[in-house]
Amino acid sequence: MAILVYTENWDGKLKKASYELVNYAHAIAQMYNTEVIALTIGKTEAGAFEALAKYGASKLVQVTNEKLNNFVAQAYTDVIAQACAKYNATVLIFNNNFTGRSLAPRLSVRLKAGLASGANALPSGTEPFVVRRKIYTGKAFVDTKITSDIKILTLNPRRILLQFRLRSKKLPAKFHCRMPKL
């Protein structure tokens, strides 16, 4: 059981929201007493993994392949689904942007997982797993209960206060996945 966070990078630099996602995942991991796995696709600059570890990532996985240099939702979905199976992830977390809104529904169908998009608070508990999110362009809130074994959340950026945490540094894991046909 693990919490898997997809951390986006552009031209080798992690997006600022990635740190918030890892920190959010760390808070959920404490509720489940499990680890946070940060997954990035593509090459990243030196020091990126150490920075993610400071925000709560306990394992860092980087997937690189020339075919994955440009975002293709089907290919990224395959890679993330394989990582989810390999690390037995039960909660997947994405940024609620174009990429996250492209990947989360595809993974929800593929993994038979419940999806709550636009979360803006930590879950109220693990049994039942209930997360608050905005609806009607942010004018109202709804508590969404996810009952499936695998849960997928997209997090609205800059909605959760970051708590900087120093964690032990670990080297990135090598992950080999079957490449989808493009």
Tell me the pTM.
0.86
For the chain, which residues score pLDDT lower than 50? 162-171
Select from 83, 172, 33 the least CA-distant residue to 94: 83
Task: Give the domain CATH number at 27.
Answer: 3.40.50.620
User: What pLDDT sits at residue 137?
Assistant: 81
Does residue 62 belong to any structural domain of this protein? yes
Does residue 182 belong to any structural domain of this protein? no
User: What pLDDT sits at residue 123?
Assistant: 92
- Number of domains the chain contains: 1
pLDDT in tens, 59-95: 989 999 988 988 999 999 999 999 999 999 999 999 9
Does residue 99 belong to any structural domain of this protein? yes
Does residue 179 belong to any structural domain of this protein? no
Does residue 181 belong to any structural domain of this protein? no
Does residue 51 belong to any structural domain of this protein? yes
Structural domain including 76 reads 2-174
Does residue 109 belong to any structural domain of this protein? yes
User: What pLDDT sits at residue 162?
Assistant: 47
